[in-house]
Amino acid sequence: MRKLGKNGPEVSALGLGCMGMSYSYGPAGDKKEMISLLRTAVEQGVTFFDTAEVYGPFINEELLGEALAPLRKQVVIATKFGFRLDPKGGPKWIGLDSHPKHIKKVAEASLRRLRTDVIDLFYQHRVDPGIPMEDVAGAVKDLVSEGKVRYFGLSEASVKSIRQAHAVHPVTALQSEYSLWWREPEAEIIPAVEELGIGFVPYSPLGRGFLTGKINENTTFDANDFRVNLPRFTPEARKANQALVDLLTGIAIGKNATPAQIALAWLLAQKPWIVPIPGTKKLERFEENIGAVGVELTQADFREIEEASAKIKIRGGRYPENLQKMTGK
């Protein structure tokens, strides 16, 4: 278990990112199988679950609501606001919207879908340049005072935005991409959240599956898998980036572990208030991931990872330009 920031909830050291069960990574998982996986996760000690209204939209929250309702007191559920969805019911968001009225409307709808009377952690999914951060934090502060939200979070926010929000209402957690192949948060974000007592929740801690060693330059993706649009997942980039997987594989062999477990163990060792949220649709992958908690890396292992990874130039941007523009605001 870990405490998510200075004043946040205690959660399992690894959470479960649930987006891929319904959205973005090819066909949605079978509903019965996903419910079984979610409940198995609780049985095996995972208490922290991550979703968002935009995942589907809506169907991922509904899935968690159904699966976790009987176990609600045992779990911490995080969801997100901040996108404007197609009013015609289309499958995609059409812009950002963190207007206070919209935030409160989203909260009410998420509460219904999650079958709960309180959202444990409510993140702004992406910073909305059109709405002052003070207004966003004020809206969530109202929801906290009404007992509808317990904790406030931000996702992919800049240090400036984090400080602006935190001055109005305490930010409990920042969720941003962080892994051995995306280490940008180390420069400014991690020192800032440490100073402010904010927990850090790395999403895509396995590099959207690449750091598992199960993807190579010849892997083909489903047409509905959003990795087909990511510069880092072109065949040429995958071939170049294989060097990082080879590094993890070499360390894993010596520890009777897997590359994924080494990648997660490395993240867990960075700070005691970091809680990665790897996602999966497969029970065997879930069990592999939680096995990372038992993997111990030595100082020699850390030196080897630092020295070798410093020589590896990761090829390809993590997002196409239109999505990258929405991060770090």
Residue-range domain boundaries for the chain = 2-208+271-294
What pLDDT score was predicted for residue 312? 96
Give the model confidence (pLDDT) of 34-86 as tens digits: 999 999 999 999 999 999 999 999 999 999 999 999 999 999 999 999 999 98
Least confident of 59-63, 85-89, 123-127, 168-172: 85-89
What pLDDT score was predicted for residue 243? 97
Is residue 244 within 8 A of residue 211, CB to CB? The reply is yes
What pLDDT score was predicted for residue 256? 97
Catalytic choice (23, 25, 55, 203): 55
In whole angstroms, give the CA distance from residue 244 to residue 199. Answer: 27
Query: What are residue 327's phi and psi, to 5 degrees?
Result: -105, 155
Give the model confidence (pLDDT) of 11-26 as tens digits: 999 999 999 999 999 9
Query: pLDDT-based confidence at 178, cuts 50/70/90?
Result: very high
Q: Degrees (nearest 5) of the Cα angle 255, 1, 143?
A: 135
In this structure, the number of other CB atoms found within 10 A of the CB of residue 274 comes to: 21
**Class of CATH domain 2-208+271-294:** alpha beta
Q: What is the pLDDT averaged over residues 150-154? A: 98
Look at the block and give the residue holding tokens 């992958």. 285
Is residue 95 within 8 A of residue 68, CB to CB? The reply is no
Instruction: Give the type of residue at 45.
Output: G
Q: How many CA atoms lie within 13 A of 55 on its CB side?
A: 27
In whole angstroms, give the CA distance from residue 84 to residue 103. Answer: 10
- Rounded mean pLDDT of the chain? 97
Two tokens at 223? 């047409």
Residue 208 clears pLDDT 80, i.e. is over it:
yes
What pLDDT score was predicted for residue 88? 79
Q: What is the pLDDT averaged over residues 192-209? A: 98
Is residue 55 within 8 A of residue 62, CB to CB? The reply is no
What pLDDT score was predicted for residue 313? 96
State the Cα torsion 40-42-48-53 to the nearest 10°.
Answer: 60
Instruction: Give the type of residue at 170.
Output: P
Instruction: Give the type of residue at 219.
Output: T
Q: What is the pLDDT averaged over residues 94-107? A: 97
Query: pLDDT-based confidence at 251, cuts 50/70/90?
Result: very high
What pLDDT score was predicted for residue 234? 97
The b-or-e profile of 237-259 (16+ CB within 10 A means b, else e) is bbebbbebbebbeebbeeeebbb
Is residue 268 within 8 A of residue 257, CB to CB? The reply is no
Residue 90 clears pLDDT 80, i.e. is over it:
no
Residue 125 clears pLDDT 90, i.e. is over it:
yes
Query: pLDDT-based confidence at 89, cuts 50/70/90?
Result: confident
Two tokens at 3? 């405490």
319-324: long-range pairs with CB below 8 Å, 24+: 319/230, 319/231, 320/229, 320/230, 320/231
Q: What is the pLDDT averaged over residues 315-326? A: 94
Q: What is the pLDDT averaged over residues 202-223? A: 97
What pLDDT score was predicted for residue 86? 87
- 23 catalytic? Reply is no
In whole angstroms, give the CA distance from residue 319 to residue 126. Answer: 14
In whole angstroms, give the CA distance from residue 52 to residue 46. Answer: 18
Count each helix (H run) and each strand (E run) in the chain, helices first: 11, 11
Residue 318 clears pLDDT 90, i.e. is over it:
yes
In this structure, the number of other CB atoms found within 10 A of the CB of residue 46 comes to: 22
Query: pLDDT-based confidence at 92, cuts 50/70/90?
Result: confident
